[in-house]
Amino acid sequence: MTAGYHEYKLRLIAMAPVHIGSGETYTAKNYIYENENYYFPDMGKLYLKLRQYPGVVEAFEKFLVNPSRRSNRLVDFLHQYKIMDRDFGGYKIPETGYESAKRGRLNEIHAFVKDGYGNAYIPGSSLKGALRTILVNEHFGNDNIAWGGVDDIFNEIRVSDSEPIPVDKLRIVQKWDLNRKKFEPKGLPLFREAIRPQTKIDFTITTTTARAEKLIDQLPQMAKRFYERYEKQFLRDFPDKYVQPNHFLAPIYLGAGSGLWTKVDYEHVDLRGIQRRSYWKMKLKGKGVMKLTLYKRQSLKRIENGKQVKYMLINNDDHYYEMGKCGFKLQKKN
Amino acid sequence: MMLSKIKISGTIELESGLHIGGSDAFAAIGAIDSPVIKDPLTNLPIIPGSSLKGKMRSLLAKAYNETIAQTPNDDDERITRLFGASDGGGENGDQPVPARLIFRDSFLNNAQELLDKGAEGYTEAKFENTIDRTTAIANPRQIERAIRGSEFNFELIYDLTDEQEIDEDMQTLLDGFKLLELDYLGGSGSRGYGKIKFINLHAETVFGDYDASAINEELGA
């Protein structure tokens, strides 16, 4: 009776920092940098706490609206008024030392998407979008795919939200662009909460029809083919040392900052249109820059023939990762 | 024989965020553009009986119907006698078929527990994007969801009018529960929303004298 339904376990392994945005950003007024941690308090609780200190509320309101870039750090404000409490709810992220040259002075931190309990997670909608990009390029040939009514292939493929990811698995990473001419990475004032490399994240994919099942069965092969296309179109223009190996995993890029070529339909992409439309500062030149981020060198460990084998995630000594790079394994459950 | 009414009750637990859409007539600019349906008195999210009934019926229709039904009236007889039809009943087949099942709206029953577990509210706002695959332009949207871990009380009344058919009816119902758990409730299920689980299902005869113990055995109560 439930024939036709098939379940798969998709295990995603972050091979580089991955960021899925919640649409919110933090400024220096929203976090406390102290003891090698970035502490993001619940601003509502913090405000309630401040009311216990005479005269501080007014100063705090002034601080919040003060546009000056010099005195805009929350931690300085708390020190100035000798406020030692730190029980404002919220959460802490340990620093890696690779965030920025200016320790603790980050602005514009983009928040990771979190569920109703404050845990991070990767929405099924994000993974499904990335899978769809692969299918569009390697199977359908365009994004003009029937939907609604009885012919709706992407309703027949259901991608669950991931299991909750504790916020202490998050780290803060900076955006670095690798220019095509000089191949010199350049740091940009944009920071993101990201899942740290090596994190394993499980999803369930359910297919409800035979044709959907057939597509998902081929997913790892198609992901590899799509990667080859990406390599040919884009990655090979850059020095090898910045390109991360896939090792034993099927490659996929997820979330923000992974770049245009991980998101589009190669046959129909309107590069001229994009170049024309983007505003001057962000102007896309040629095929675009390579998007990197800094994090300490890490490896994946796997038991092979009873021995532990280490696979280095990056090939450079400067700690550069490709933003959003992941690998996955797919296992059919029934 | 006499009419009996059997109440099947339990709990619906959300394993992922659920979105059953409500009215967005008063959404503010830049705020949630797609809210969930809520109880107007308590402002807590609810699961309307109509959503449960409709989803269960369409899933059963896919499983039971031998040919694709043009209208719900053409569903397999095992479905129409439980869910009703607007014709095909009576001696001449021109009367409505009364439904044996009555679905109730489900209300949130662990609101306090959710807050104790650290929830910031009963619903969450989820930011999503459509990325155009030719221009890479992102078109964002905000959707509200009842949060994972919410529990709703579930109640169903079964009118026992024909004792010959109760076993088959119960089998249909059990298949319906199983299919709903394998599928999703509400909107956007293909991208992770609306995974539900029925827990603590049990039956009790609330009118008449039918012995519900056999049903309970099947429900695993």
Tens digits of residue pLDDT in A60-84: 988 888 887 776 889 888 988 888 8
Residues A114-148 pLDDT 10s: 988 889 999 999 999 999 999 999 998 888 888 87
> Per-residue pLDDT for B193 more than 80?
yes
Neighbours of A52 (CB within 10 A): 10
Task: Tell me the C-alpha to C-alpha distance, in Å, between residue A108 and each of A24, A36, A194, B64, B206.
Answer: 10, 19, 14, 55, 60
Give pLDDT tens digits for A188-204. Answer: 889 999 999 999 999 99
Nearest CA in chain A to B117: A117
Is pLDDT of B28 > 60?
Answer: no
SS3 state of residue B182: helix
What is the percent of chain A with per-residue pLDDT over 90, rounded to a whole number?
Answer: 51
pLDDT greater than 90 at residue B102: yes
Q: Per-residue pLDDT averaged across A231-243, rounded?
A: 90
State the pLDDT at residue A312: 93
Q: How far apart are the first and last CA of chain A?
A: 14
User: Can you give the pLDDT at residue A100?
Assistant: 79
Average pLDDT over residues B63-90: 85
Q: Do A116 and B127 touch (CB under 8 A)?
A: no
Calculate Rg over the CA atoms of chain A.
22
Residues B147, A115: C-beta atoms closer than 8 Å: yes
The pLDDT score that the predictor gives to residue B42 is: 87
Average pLDDT score over residue span B196-216: 88
CB B18 within 8 A of CB B45: yes
pLDDT higher than threshold 80 for residue B37: yes
pLDDT of residue A204: 92
pLDDT of res. B31 = 65
> Do the chains contact at B127 and A113, CB–CB below 8 Å?
yes
Residue with tokens 């923000």: A256
| Residue among A22, A124, A155 minimizing CB distance to B192 | A124
Mean pLDDT in residue range A25-38: 90
Interface contact flag, A270 B134, Cβ < 8 Å: yes
Give pTM, 2 decimals.
Answer: 0.84
Give me the mean pLDDT over the A266-275 stretch. 80
Question: Where residue A301 falls among pLDDT bands split at 50, 70, 90?
Answer: very high
Residue type, A288: G
Residue-level pLDDT at A84: 87
Of the residues B60, B133, B143, the best mutation for testing chain A's interface (the one with the most A CB atoms within 10 Å of its CB) is B133
pLDDT of A2:
58
**Which residues of chain A have a CB within 8 Å of the CB of B142?**
23
